[in-house]
Amino acid sequence: MANIRPAVITKILPDSIAAEVGFEVGDAIVSINGTRPRDLIDYQFLCADEILKIEVLDATGKIHHVEIEKDCDRDLGLEFETAVFDNLIQCNNHCPFCFIDQQPPGKRSSLYLKDDDYRLSFLYGSYLTLTNLPEREWQRIDKMRLSPLYVSVHATEPEVRIRLLKNPRAGQILQQLQWFQKKRLQIHAQVVVCPGINDGEHLERTLRDLASFHTGKVPAVASVAVVPVGLTKFRPQQDELIPVTPEKATETIAQVRSLQQEFRRKFHTTFAWLADEWFLIAGEELPPEEEYEDYPQIDNGVGSIRLFLKKFSQAAAELLPPKLKSPRKWHWIVGNAVEKAFQPILERLNSVAGLQVEMHALNSHYWGQNITVTGLLTGHDLLLNLQGQNLDNGILLPSIMLKHGESVFLDDISVEELARKLKTQIFVVAGVEELIKTCIQPLG
């Protein structure tokens, strides 16, 4: 197939087959057993063979041929620059709530790239709309059993979905769900609620339509996340969008909760979950932990606060000592949306003698939001709030504020630049264990 580029290696895992064979960072895989992989999915499929004949392009442009014999389930231990080695499938919609269009102008072009690629959905759980797939890609999804995929449904009524995605091809979602059902493939769905467009009766219709696909041993629609639309000050003028108010959040919570009761009776699962943000906007208590079952929509902010609190108390019981040998003080940055919910964590950390943690619950001036979730805070927001302050032993920075796999905020400011400007150390913490271990680490 045209446009397939060699897959450039960025990491070789220690003690792996690739390390043993002598692969180097910068080498690129051209083909495996005569086939050029289009993406990581092809690569993983091809590597399932026991004998691999690999064509490798080194950094100087020289081709090498490597033969490897291995167990079929053993991974080579390579990581690549990208997951897709041909062209990324790009979005052909014009959703008024698109976060990419709600960014400030003048940033580097990659920040404005709108992907809508089923391969990233399968590999990483990113949401896609199914409006841009030619027949051969549908066939590949079926042939390679690429399931589950994560689909932005938003509305099942054709005219409402067309209005939201601003794309006439968006009206085929019910037929597409029938296709998944027929092929015994699954999706997880999301509905971004835009007040005045797909809320109220449209939301009810959408959730009932989606529930009609939650049947059989392999339900075509496995779960739904209901998410409030997020708006920034850079949104286009006359975008016909209305922000979600606390009243709207309260109303939507009540509406979805009543449907959840029906779904639980019928399917023995909640099936459609409300993102944590609804409760934060409404100022309501989050649902209890057991309501989230096995957290099928955790990456969409459904239950992430409850899970974080639960994991924290488990890890704290195991890792937090009663006192520290030498005292220290940290500054922990979170979005102001979670300020109240995270108080138990703050209290538990500060109960350790010698450990002081000050929470900075910020909103985002950068995006123009009064209430902000942690993942949307930017370097600009931290500078604005913390510059000139005594930041003691340093900052505890949740990794969800950074772009995936990079040490750069959404506004392109790097962690290093921020640390320099704030004249302090910044510790990026991913998850509860790292948060606790960083708090109690020996001081350098």
Closest approach of ligand SF4 to the CB of residue 59, in Å? 34
Residue recorded with tokens 């989050």: 286
Annotate each residue in 102-131 with x if it binds ligand SF4 (CB under 6 A) or - if it does not, as one string. ------------x-x------------x--
Q: Which is nearer to ligand SF4, 17 or 227 (CB)?
A: 227
Cα-to-chain-centroid distance, residue 130: 18
Residues near 77 by Cβ (< 8 Å), separated by ≥ 6? 12, 13, 15, 16, 17, 18, 19
Count CB neighbours of 384 within 10 A: 13
Closer residue to ligand SF4 (CB): 18 or 191: 191
Q: Kindly tell me which of 98 and 371 has the beta carbon lying closer to ligand SF4.
A: 98
Spatial contact of 195 and 242, defined as CB atoms under 8 Å apart: yes
Q: How far is the CB of 94 from ligand SF4 (least distance, A)?
A: 6
Binding string, 326-365, against ligand SF4, x = CB under 6 A? ----------------------------------------
Tokens standing for 325? Answer: 């040998």
Long-range CB pairs of 260-263, under 8 A, 24+ apart, other chains included: 263/211, 263/214
Q: Site map for ligand SF4, 35-74, x if CB under 6 A?
A: ----------------------------------------
88-96, 230-238, 278-286, 359-367 -> range binding ligand SF4 (CB under 6 A): 88-96
Smallest distance from ligand SF4 to CB 129, Å = 5
- 93 belongs to the binding site for ligand SF4 (CB under 6 A): yes
Minimum distance from CB of 112 to ligand SF4 (Å)?
Answer: 10
Q: How far is the CB of 116 from ligand SF4 (least distance, A)?
A: 5
Interface region with ligand SF4, contact rule CB under 6 A, candidates 93-101, 241-249, 392-400, 421-429 = 93-101
Question: Which CB atom, from 8 or from 242, has the smaller least distance to ligand SF4?
Answer: 242
CB of 224 to ligand SF4, least distance (A): 17
Q: Is 91 or 253 the residue whose CB approaches ligand SF4 more closely?
A: 91
Comparing CB distances to ligand SF4, the nearer of 161 and 214 is: 161
Q: Which of 386, 314, 371 is nearest to 345 (CA)?
A: 314
Interacting span for ligand SF4 (CB under 6 A) from 91-99, 223-231, 334-342, 420-428: 91-99
What radius of gyration, in Å, describes the C-alpha atoms of the chain?
24
Q: Which stretch binds ligand SF4 (CB under 6 A): 90-98, 213-221, 371-379, 421-429?
A: 90-98
**Contact between 225 and 273 (Cβ < 8 Å):** yes
Q: Residue 426: which of 366, 379, 373 has the closest Cα?
A: 379
Tokens coding 238: 């006359």
Shortest distance in whole angstroms from residue 163 CB to ligand SF4 = 12
Tokens of 155: 């509305």
Shortest spacing between CB 212 and ligand SF4, in angstroms: 24
- Rule CB under 6 A: which residues touch ligand SF4? 91, 93-95, 98, 100, 114, 116, 129
